């Protein structure tokens, strides 16, 4: 009986040890250490380091600069300038000048002096083209003027017509200086839109960099 008792006791101890070993917690894995890649700055919350949200997010309502025009004269821009003044803005009229095409001159450049010009006239007249004259001064002296046109398309048709008989004229564009005026104001396009301005035909707002 004593032997049986010790045998049962040993079995109970073995079962107890087996149970403890089975439910023992596993060894936790080594922690993974993340390293910031080189060249990439660390991200920080806005509240860290005293950074305020308004310093990071741009103000969409921040004033820009807008030009309205173009006007042909300062007097034409005056009503718009007065309206913007009544709205509490400070517009000013800015003059500009640019070169614009005035006319298109079809010219047969001189070849063999005055004799070459007369020979070209004979050829043109024989084909029924009588709108020409010999140029007597300037860089095209002893050449032929074949027409002065206000539209480039008409000058081009004349050019092709003369080329059709074996001559090689050119088109010389003449320019004139044209003045026009813009009304500049320190405001954004949405601000201008809220004013419900009645702009004349051909007048439009353009956003630009402030000076």
Domain shared by 91 and 183, yes or no: yes
Structural domain of 160 = 100-177
Is residue 73 situated within a structural domain? yes
Q: Does 136 share its domain with 169?
A: yes
The token pair at 84 is 């913007």
**138 in a structural domain:** yes
| Together in a domain, 106 and 204 | no
pTM over 0.85: no
Are 92 and 194 found together in one domain? yes
**24 within domain boundaries:** no
What is the model's pLDDT at position 209?
84
Full pLDDT tens readout for the chain, 211 residues = 556 555 666 666 666 666 656 555 555 555 444 454 554 444 443 334 444 333 433 344 444 799 999 999 999 999 999 999 999 999 999 999 999 999 999 999 999 999 999 999 999 999 999 999 999 999 999 999 999 999 999 999 999 999 999 999 999 999 999 999 999 999 998 999 899 998 999 999 999 888 7
Do residues 135 and 70 both lie within one domain?
no
Tokens of 13: 């101890």
Q: For residue 8, is it within any domain? A: no
41, part of any domain: no
Looking at the structure of the chain, the number of domains it has is 2
Q: Looking at the domain assignment, is residue 122 inside a domain?
A: yes
Q: How many CB atoms lie within 10 A of CB 173?
A: 12
Q: Give me the pLDDT at residue 163, please.
A: 96
Residue 147: the pLDDT is 96
| pLDDT score, position 64 | 76
Q: Please check whether residue 139 lies inside any domain of the structure.
A: yes
CATH of the domain at 183: 3.30.70
Tell whether 89 and 149 lie within a shared domain: no
Same domain? 88 vs 144: no
Q: Assess whether 105 and 172 both reside in one domain.
A: yes
Q: Is 14 part of a structural domain of the chain?
A: no
136 and 105, same structural domain?
yes
180: enclosing H helix or E strand: strand 170-185
Cα distance between residue 87 and residue 75, in whole Å: 20
- Of 82, 138, 69, nearest to 107 (Cα)? 138
CATH number at residue 128: 3.30.70.1070
- CA 203-205-211 angle, to 5 degrees, is 125
Question: What's the confidence (pLDDT) of residue 153?
Answer: 97
140 lies in the same domain as 155? yes
């Amino acid at each position: 009986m004593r032997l049986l008792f010790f045998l049962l006791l040993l079995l109970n101890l073995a079962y107890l040890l087996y149970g403890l070993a089975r439910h023992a917690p596993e060894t936790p894995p080594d922690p993974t250490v993340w390293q910031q890649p080189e060249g990439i700055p660390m991200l920080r919350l806005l509240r860290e380091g005293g950074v305020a949200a308004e310093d990071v997010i741009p103000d969409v309502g921040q004033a820009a600069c807008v030009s309205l025009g173009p006007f042909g004269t300062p007097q034409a821009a005056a009503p718009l300038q007065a309206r913007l003044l009544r709205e509490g803005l400070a517009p000013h009229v800015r003059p500009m000048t640019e070169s614009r095409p005035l006319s298109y001159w079809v010219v047969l450049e001189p070849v063999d002096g005055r004799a070459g010009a007369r020979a070209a006239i004979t050829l043109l007249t024989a084909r029924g083209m009588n709108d020409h004259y010999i140029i007597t001064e300037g860089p095209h002296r002893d050449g032929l003027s074949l027409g002065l046109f206000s539209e480039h398309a008409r000058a081009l048709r004349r050019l092709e017509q003369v080329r059709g008989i074996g001559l090689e004229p050119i088109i010389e564009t003449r320019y004139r200086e044209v003045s026009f005026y813009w009304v500049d104001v320190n405001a954004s396009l949405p601000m201008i839109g809220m004013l419900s301005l009645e702009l004349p035909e051909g007048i439009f707002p353009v956003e630009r960099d402030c000076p």
